[in-house]
Structure 1
């Protein structure tokens, strides 16, 4: 693994447990039925609408992949089930139809992680028993919590841009100090109720060099950075990678950022987005915040959903 140039190191289990307790302590007090989404107040939504100046808008999602790749051994299935060439009657009304089947939590397609997605020490976020996960779906903390959509102020931090490289190499991690340095360099600050997006360049590397086994090696946040996110009170965390780097920097915990963000803080995660369309718009306009609208499927009991977040500048 290529070392991160900015310093945070590996953690043993005891150090991670201490970090977990600090993150929980830094979170806002009081019950939050929808987790960190409850920090997105009506006033903050109205303020986010004020981010719109030019009306230009792009998706933060990657196209759904239907062909097997090194990072996607179980690609989505998208069969045509209605009118297609070779099955057309040629007279009267016909309908083109199709269906989609996909692994929501894979390493290629853009998706949202619900609060029931992460089981840690036998519980879900807020101490909800893991036994609420049943064969027919999640009885608590499902993606239905976001059924009304997520609308708020998006903030993009470009870590490759900060480092002066096209992308971070698989295995590298992003530290809290780099998030602060990116804020200073870009003239933006993320805060309570924001949708924070951290670019590591995963999608550009995949585009330029081809797919690789992202389950074994990918760039992401160092778990220590989550303490800063807790202090700032963000509502959502997203990345063009998995948010977690691999190999994990924590002994015995494979996805420490997922544990800290989802389980400890109740933050919905957005994995495997793409920022290559919004990046030039932000660069051109010289601003790194925008209105963001996310509409997950209204899937009662679901552990997540494919999504196409829309950034409006």
Structure 2
């Protein structure tokens, strides 16, 4: 068994000792049928930004825009490539490309291998670097460098196939499951505009009550803050100072909000902003997570997070038609070992 202790308030083991899906397990046939029942108009909405937005790397210096280029044959770019170079009688012209992409640069899913914690899962008084359901850094989630409990560097932990590799909790688990069911929109932007506002339990419930929003176990909670719309208006040249002070963000330090997430049974949280929660989070004393909502959702409960989704057209249509529920189809890439993935979510109403 990977763990003897589980974090307080977590659901480790509830879906099985080897579970790698967390609350995504709640998205079963019944939830798919609930989503399908929301299809009445036969209209679909793309919920993805163009994957070259937000633009640059000022929002996160580690993540860069995708670099698209041709593949090559005999050192020549295969773009408008006349196959007569291969067979003089061929009439074909071929284009073929490839991309170098930061998987969490734009519209994305976080897998359960994205954020873990230092936690004494063994019950021996020493903390390990662990992820949801007790999966271990360097054993299940490997990289080119091993880090000790306090960040010290030790020997390489990669397996030779890739420089990083989530042998457990990788994004492919979500892809195989399907990530299709009922989405429920909470339109924070309609109530609070584009002002920077911390959203805790009280504010979320206020908006849900005003708009008649009801959430059930297994639903995708979808939050519109307006952030992606601000990003879009910047047209690939983002102003970090403006963005860091724009739109609603969940308050990951609000204990009542975290408790509601636990009790609600939601299978995933999808938002149009960067990180879903306020970063940096509100000040807290003592040992803490700097991403408390990520810690609660990814590490404790196995709730994947979607970020930088694009929601204005869907939100407008739902408002005009007095609705807040829809069919959501949002599988990530089936890329074994990845800890995140671009996604092109589709809402159907």
Q: Is 1:195–1:236's contact at 8 Å kept on the other side of the alignment?
A: yes
Per-residue deviation, 1:277: 2.1
2:305 aligned partner: 269
Partner residue in 1 for 2:136: 129
Once the two structures are superposed, the pairs formed by residues 94-113 of structure 1 within 5 Å of their partners are 94-106=93-105, 109-113=106-110
Residue 206, structure 1, aligned to residue 241, structure 2: no
1:151–1:294 Cα contact (<8 Å) kept:
yes
Of 313, 329, 333 in structure 2, the residue corresponding to residue 293 of structure 1 is: 329
Separation in structure 2 between the aligned mates of residue 45 and residue 250 of structure 1, nearest angstrom: 40
Match of 2:183, SS state, is: strand
- Structure 1 counterpart of 2:250: 221
Q: Bigger CA drift: 140-149 or 290-299?
A: 140-149
**DSSP-derived class of the 2:99 partner:** coil
Partners of 1:217 and 1:245 within 8 A in 2: no
**For the residues of structure 1 that align with 2:316 and 2:94, how far apart are their CA atoms?**
39
Question: What residue is the counterpart of 1:155 in the other structure?
Answer: 184
Q: Structure 1 segments of 4 or more deviating over 4 A?
A: 87-91, 214-219
- State the partner residue of 2:203: 178
Aligned to 1:233: 265
Deviations 1:32-63 (A, max 9, x none): 52200111121121122101110111111111
**Which residue number corresponds to residue 168 of structure 1?**
195
Q: Does 1:64 align with 2:51?
A: yes
Given candidates 50, 55, 59, the residue that maps to 2:37 is: 50
Structure 1 contact 35–267 (Cα < 8 Å) conserved? yes
Stretch moving more, 199-208 or 76-85: 76-85
Q: 1:216 to 1:255 in 2, by over 3 A?
A: farther
The separation in 1 between residues aligned to 2:295 and 2:227, in whole angstroms, is 21
* 1:79 counterpart SS class: strand
Q: Is the 8 A contact 1:217 1:247 kept in 2?
A: no
Tell me the SS of whatever aligns to 2:30. helix
Q: Distance in 1 between matches of 2:50 and 2:258?
A: 29
Q: TM-score, normalised by structure 2?
A: 0.75
In structure 2, stretches of 5+ residues that fail to align are: 1-6, 72-76, 85-89, 119-128, 143-157
Tell me the matched-pair count. Answer: 284
1:196 is aligned to 221
Q: Determine whether 1:249 maps to 2:282.
A: yes
Deviation at 1:110, TM superposition (A): 0.6
Structure 1 residues 123-146: Cα deviation after superposition (integer angstroms, max 9, x where no partner): 101222222111331111111211
Structure 1 gaps, min length 5: 1-19
Give the secondary-structure state (helix, strand or coil) at the position aligned to 2:15: coil
Q: How is 1:16-55 mapped onto 2 (pairs within 5 angstroms)?
A: 21=8, 23-24=9-10, 30-32=14-16, 33=19, 34-55=21-42
Whichever of the two has the greater Rg, that structure is 2
- In 2, Cα distance between equivalents of 1:101 and 1:72: 17
What's the offset of the Cα at 1:288?
Answer: 0.7
In structure 1, what is the Cα distance between the partners aligned to 2:45 and 2:166?
A: 32
| Partner-residue secondary structure (3-state), 1:152 | strand
SS of 2:186's equivalent in the other structure is strand
Aligned to 2:65: 75
CA positional deviation for 1:29: 7.6
Three-state SS of the structure 1 residue aligned to 2:228 is helix
